[in-house]
């Protein structure tokens, strides 16, 4: 007999957000733990987080160059070293740590606090990340590891490639949680989804990816669903050539104030991915074996051929096409407020104020 959790990640996904407070109990009862806390502790001991901090992004670097024109609120940005990862940029502090400002990536690392161990994919700056993020958050030595992503052609070749490179650090886990240093992640969203994934897997359901999602107007990264509510495709720009990416960005802009009328609401991911580790390992190894070209990089059909990248988006799409992906629509729209440029920082801070307050309740 289908469980209520199974329905909330399929034909009943529209009820998931209203039911999110009950999902930990549904998961606990499925697994037979005496409390949701006991269930979470068990799952946490079998989970590794993978936080991507290796790049700053071209938009970010370009926006730093124009920091002086952004007004008094962001005037301090002019002194930030553009060579540093974006995750070290200071923003307003809404966590229970000292200081008026904390690095952007503190929020992403706080969201994955529950994981047994944390992997931080970087391109240097380990000492700064340790001193400015990990120690203030109270992470014990040995609970995290740095991994420097190799860039054989002068730039990192995507987060799918990063996951492949550091697979030895996470392949012994049951679950891998992936997130990014500039996203407005919610600890509660992640923990609720992790409990749900474990409960679904324990029932023998063929779920390799559970992606928290939010319902928003005119999503720039839409999730395509079939008639049963299962994801069959993800609208990620990493899977598009330059012209397609430009079209997607223009479509998203059309829903902004002053643009054309927004399209109807749709589901979109919020930068969190929860995988069964064995499935993620199989996927990254298969993509590497099939699409890596020595001396060039990746040549994955459908990706921008100029980038030679391998993205986790490719893994997501492959799992969705195989019917092994689910979405859990429990996230709030504020969780989709990444800081990809300086201009995004005020909106990111406003979003994190609300997200952090909800996580404390």
pLDDT tens by residue, 304-315: 999 999 999 999
Q: Is the pLDDT of residue 248 over 70?
A: no
Contact 252, 260 (CB under 8 A): no
From the centroid of its chain, how far is CA 209? 12
Note the pTM of the prediction, 2 decimals. 0.91
Do β-strands 117-122 and 144-148 pair in parallel, antiparallel, or remain unpaired? parallel
Average pLDDT in the 172-185 region? 97
pLDDT at 71: 63
Q: Is the pLDDT of residue 237 over 70?
A: no
Residue 69 CA to residue 31 CA, distance in Å, equals: 55
Q: Give, as one character, the DSSP assignment of residue 80.
A: S
Q: Which residues on neighbouring strands pair with residue 180, listed in sequence order?
A: 52
CA dihedral (104, 108, 113, 119) positive or negative: negative
User: With pLDDT > 70 as the criterion, what percentage of the chain qualifies?
Assistant: 89
Phi, psi torsion values for 118, nearest 5 degrees: -120, 135
Contact 76, 116 (CB under 8 A): no
What sections of 175-266 are H helices per DSSP? Answer: 187-202, 242-254
Tell me which of 23-37, 201-215, 232-246 is least confident: 232-246
User: With pLDDT > 90 as the criterion, what percentage of the chain qualifies?
Assistant: 75
Average pLDDT in the 198-215 region? 97
Greatest extent of the chain over all pairs of C-alpha atoms, in Å: 61
Q: Which residues on neighbouring strands pair with residue 147, listed in sequence order?
A: 121
Q: Which structure tokens are listed for 32?
A: 């037979």
| Mean of per-residue pLDDT scores for the chain | 90
CATH 3.90.550.10 fits domain 4-359: yes
Closest by alpha carbon to 359, among 245, 209, 188? 188
pLDDT at 240: 55
Q: How many CA atoms lie within 13 A of 361 on its CB side?
A: 8
254-300 confidence digits (pLDDT tens): 443 333 344 589 999 999 999 999 999 999 999 999 999 999 999 99
Where does the pLDDT of residue 77 fall: very low under 50, low under 70, confident under 90, or very high at 90 and above?
Answer: confident
Closest by alpha carbon to 107, among 290, 361, 304, 351? 351
**Cα-based distances in Å from 59 to 67, 154, 200, 276:** 12, 18, 39, 32
Helix (H, G, I), strand (E, B) or coil at 23: helix
Where does the pLDDT of residue 66 fall: very low under 50, low under 70, confident under 90, or very high at 90 and above?
Answer: confident
Contact 228, 7 (CB under 8 A): no
Residue 352 CA to residue 338 CA, distance in Å, equals: 10
Contact 218, 252 (CB under 8 A): yes
3-state secondary structure labels for all residues of 98-149:
CCCEEECHHHHHHHCCCCCEEEEEECCCHHHHHHHHHCCCCCCCCCEEEEEC
**Cα-based distances in Å from 61 to 68, 341, 348:** 14, 8, 17
């Amino acid at each position: 007999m289908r469980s209520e959790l199974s329905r909330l990640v399929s034909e009943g996904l529209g009820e998931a957000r209203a039911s999110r407070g009950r999902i930990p109990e549904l998961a606990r009862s499925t697994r037979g733990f005496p409390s949701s806390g006991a269930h979470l502790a068990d799952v946490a001991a079998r989970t590794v987080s993978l936080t991507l901090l290796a790049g700053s992004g071209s938009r970010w670097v370009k926006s730093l160059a124009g920091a002086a024109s952004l007004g008094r609120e962001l005037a301090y940005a002019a002194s930030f070293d553009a060579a540093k990862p974006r995750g070290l940029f200071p923003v307003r502090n809404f966590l229970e740590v000292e200081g008026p400002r904390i690095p952007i990536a503190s929020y992403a690392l706080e969201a994955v606090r529950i994981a047994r161990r944390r992997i931080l994919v970087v391109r240097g700056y380990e000492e700064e990340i340790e001193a400015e993020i990990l120690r203030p958050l109270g992470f014990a030595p040995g609970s995290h590891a740095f991994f420097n992503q190799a860039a054989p052609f002068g730039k990192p070749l995507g987060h799918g490639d990063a996951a492949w490179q550091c697979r030895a650090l996470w392949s012994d886990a049951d679950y891998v949680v992936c997130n990014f240093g500039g996203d407005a992640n919610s600890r509660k969203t992640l923990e609720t989804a992790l409990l749900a994934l474990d409960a679904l897997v324990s029932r023998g359901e063929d779920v390799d990816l559970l992606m928290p999602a939010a319902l928003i107007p005119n999503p720039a990264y839409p999730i395509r669903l079939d008639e049963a509510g299962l994801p069959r495709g993800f609208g990620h720009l990493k899977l598009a050539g330059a012209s397609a990416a430009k079209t997607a960005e223009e479509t998203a802009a059309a829903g902004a104030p002053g643009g054309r009328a927004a399209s109807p609401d749709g589901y979109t991911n919020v930068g969190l991915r929860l995988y069964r580790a064995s499935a993620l390992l199989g996927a990254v190894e298969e993509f590497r074996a099939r699409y890596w070209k020595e001396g060039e990089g990746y040549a994955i059909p459908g990706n921008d051929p100029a980038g030679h990248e391998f993205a986790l988006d490719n893994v997501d799409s492959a799992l969705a096409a195989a019917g092994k992906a689910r979405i859990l629509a429990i996230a709030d729209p504020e969780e989709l407020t990444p800081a990809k440029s300086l201009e995004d920082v005020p909106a990111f801070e406003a979003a994190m104020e609300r997200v952090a307050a909800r996580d404390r309740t």
